[in-house]
């Protein structure tokens, strides 16, 4: 694949006969091409993660891959991450979701499993205690839960006593671009 400059990519893209909503100057972050192009930059990826997770020190992003496919073995179904990033202590999967397909809670479960399986490759960790913290983040153009929140953060808790957290180091986050409740900072409301 050619390694093209941003200017050359823009020039080639503009030469295509596209409807107005698909033209370069009208694209936003929810467009796949734009999302992947922007998120492939580790500095931008870190900035986005810092806004989504303001109480966590993100650290240096050591690796960013877009359209990363994860497959355990030839008999299992693969999953494709929009963005897969690693920092020194954490793993992140960031997904852009434009349409509600009613399967996101189950997809997030599969994505956590894929992240965990990749982190536990033979020889890559000594013990379960060494498993990195993992975040799966869906940036949605809709409100999956219809509660008006900008952000829905899920961790594993005991059903009988919500004060007991499982502490399995997995966090699932759904960002809602249509949020109306004053539940996040102005910086987070840009989504």
> Domain boundaries in the chain?
6-190
Judge whether residue 143 has pLDDT over 80: yes
8 A C-beta contact, residue 150 and residue 140:
no
Percent of the chain with pLDDT over 90: 48
In this prediction, residue 62 carries a pLDDT of: 87
pLDDT value at position 19? Answer: 64
First to last CA, the chain: 32
Taking only Cα atoms into account, the Rg of the chain, rounded to an integer number of angstroms, comes to 18
What's the CA angle centered on 102, arms 99 and 104, to 5 degrees? 85
pLDDT at 190: 64
Span 13-36, pLDDT tens digits: 667 766 665 555 666 778 777 888
Q: Supply φ then ψ for residue 135, to 5 degrees.
A: -120, 130
**Residue (of 90, 36, 80) closest to 60 by Cα position:** 90
Residue 12's pLDDT is what? Answer: 73
**Is the distance from CB of 143 to CB of 106 less than 8 angstroms?**
no
Which tens digit of pLDDT belongs to each residue from 108-121?
999 999 998 888 86
Q: Residues 2-11: pLDDT tens digits? A: 667 777 777 7
| 53-57, 88-92, 122-126: segment of lowest average pLDDT | 122-126
Nearest Cα to Cα of residue 151 among 188, 187, 186: 188
pLDDT class of 102 with cuts at 50, 70, 90: confident
**Nearest residue to 144 (alpha-carbon basis) of 184, 115, 173:** 173
pLDDT exceeds cutoff 70 at 154: yes
Q: Which of 10, 42, 37, 38 is nearest to 25 (CA)?
A: 10
């Amino acid at each position: 694949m050619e390694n093209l400059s941003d200017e050359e990519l823009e020039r080639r893209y503009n030469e295509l006969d596209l409807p107005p909503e698909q033209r370069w100057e009208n694209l936003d972050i929810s467009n796949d091409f734009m999302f992947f192009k922007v998120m492939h930059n580790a500095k931008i990826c870190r900035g986005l993660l810092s806004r989504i997770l303001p109480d966590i020190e993100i650290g240096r992003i050591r690796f960013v891959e877009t359209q990363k496919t994860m497959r355990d073995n030839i008999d299992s179904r693969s999953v494709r991450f929009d963005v897969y990033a690693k920092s020194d202590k954490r793993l992140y999967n960031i997904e852009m979701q434009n349409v509600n397909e009613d399967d996101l809670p189950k997809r997030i479960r599969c994505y956590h499993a894929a992240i965990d399986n990749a982190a536990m490759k033979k020889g890559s960790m000594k013990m379960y205690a060494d498993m990195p913290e993992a975040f799966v983040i869906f940036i949605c153009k809709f409100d999956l839960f219809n509660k008006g929140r900008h952000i829905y953060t899920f961790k594993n808790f005991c059903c009988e006593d919500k004060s007991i957290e499982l502490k399995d180091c997995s966090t699932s986050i759904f960002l809602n671009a249509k949020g109306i409740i004053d539940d996040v900072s102005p910086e987070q409301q840009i989504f």
